[in-house]
A and B are shown apart, each in its own frame.
Chain A
Amino acid sequence: MIEVKNLEKAFGDLKVLRGITETIKEQEVVCVIGPSGSGKSTFLRCLNLLEEPTGGEIYLDGQKVNSPEVNIDEIRTKLGMVFQSFNLFPHMTVMGNITLAPIQVKGMSKEEADKKAHELLKTVGLEDKADSYPRSLSGGQQQRVAIARALAMDPEVMLFDEPTSALDPEMVGEVLAVMKDLAEQGMTMIIVTHEMGFAREVADRVFFIDEGIIMEQGTPEQLFSNPQNERTKGFLSKVL
């Protein structure tokens, strides 16, 4: 579904990604772990071109993403993204946040978009917050709204960029629960995370990224219980 070939990204002289090649299959749940500054968020942000790769190729369903000919806005509708800092639109209600893109980008009618938004809010357990403004919600609630907002576009893949890192500890569980449900429904997901327990439980595969490359990848059992690479061992010994 997503194919990445020799992906590179440099900021000036700083090479953040130094050649990543991977294929992510439909319905696969991939967790990306690694030390901070290793390039894992950049990898994720390259997939929907929030960062422009400086080398290599990205394909979505066989179509090259990082090419001047493609309509990137259209590609992005297929790649839902959830951010560490939620990034809800503060001047809009929860409903406004969720229905904006379906109405403006997909041309959905307001009634249809509202109906869908209500359904999504139900699945993330926030049906009663439809008319609230983001600032009146807790961090965990805001992040669940952000997930609903991304899902409203019916994406093929969901990208999560450290979705629980900005949350108070007691709110991490509610967000992870929503993500786990999503994984069980067969959503293709790529999750950059520091939640090793979650990665172990939910991921089909885990990528360990360090120094801009995938140092090691495998099933959670392989990677967490029997890491081969010295860097992976060193990292895991610090975080587990």
Chain B
Amino acid sequence: MQEYLHGIVIALKGVPITLAVSLVAVLIGLVVGLLVATAKRSRFRILRIIGTIYVDVLRGTPLLVQVLILAYGVPQIINSLFGVSFHWEIKIVIGFVACGINSSAYMAEIIRSGLQAIDVGQSEAARSLGLSSRQTMRYIIVPQAFRIIVPALGNEFITLIKETSILSMVGIVEVTRQGQLWASQSFLFFQAYIGVAIVYLAMTLTLSRLVNYIERRMARSDRS
């Protein structure tokens, strides 16, 4: 029993890193995803094509491979192309960038479907009142789309928390890596990874409850 508890305590030490990476990645993903979603809805064909390729490539390749390319491939290619010595000073930045970019592809699709779900009559009504397309986005489309996509954004955040475990492969000491390190010292593999699993479960369950709560509150304010 003692060992299991210890496994949990060890895994908990990685929680700040795991949450930090997830949170920063979700924010990067949201901002970049919004840009990509806008590109995919653009009048200009070239922007739509770029947006589509971006989403396809990032969703069609494993996050692990993307992380490996960024962590080991990119420094090497920069060295050989520009002759400057480049390596990741702070490893967690790899996590921010890789997970943020990866998430942005999923976010772009979530945002796009949210925007698409708004009836065209809404923007027609706004435009007929003299609102510009920008004002229509800001006051009419985005607020309504936001309500629709909040649950999906929450789910994306939860998915991201689990996916960041991949970063243990490139030496970022988050929850999984903490467990690994302890396991290789103590040889208590079962206890170590059960502890890791419990800690992830605690994070994801808490978050999914929170998302449900926000969703219910928004539904209520809609009805009042």
Number of interface residues of B (CB under 8 A): 21
Determine the main DSSP class of B at the interface with A. helix
Question: Which chain A positions have C-beta within 8 A of B223?
Answer: 133, 135-136
User: Is B135 close to A, CB under 8 A?
Assistant: yes
Give the complex CA separation of A77 and B222 in angstroms. 29
* A87 lies within 8 A of B125 (CB): yes
Question: Which chain A positions have C-beta within 8 A of B127?
Answer: 50, 73, 76
State the Cβ distance, A113 to closest chain B Cβ, in Å.
Answer: 13
User: Is B2 close to A, CB under 8 A?
Assistant: no
* Chain A residue at smallest Cβ distance from B125: A87
User: Is B90 close to A, CB under 8 A?
Assistant: no
State which of B124, B131, B139, B222 has its C-beta within 8 Å of the C-beta of A83: B124
Size category of the A interface is: 20 to 34
Question: Which chain B positions have C-beta within 8 A of A73?
Answer: 127, 130-132
User: Is B147 close to A, CB under 8 A?
Assistant: yes
* B140 lies within 8 A of A89 (CB): yes
> Which B133-180 residues sit within 8 Å CB-CB of chain A?
135, 139-140, 143-144, 147
State which of B124, B125, B131, B147 has its C-beta within 8 Å of the C-beta of A104: B131
Question: Which chain A positions have C-beta within 8 A of B129?
Answer: 76-77, 80, 100-101, 105, 149-150, 153
Question: Which chain A positions have C-beta within 8 A of B80?
Answer: none
20 contacts between A and B (CB under 8 A): A48-B128, A50-B127, A73-B130, A77-B129, A77-B130, A81-B125, A81-B128, A83-B125, A87-B119, A87-B125, A90-B222, A91-B144, A100-B131, A101-B126, A101-B129, A101-B130, A104-B139, A105-B131, A135-B222, A135-B223
For the complex of A and B, the 9 pairs showing the least CB-CB separation, nearest first, are A77-B130, A87-B125, A101-B129, A81-B128, A87-B121, A105-B130, A76-B130, A73-B130, A73-B132
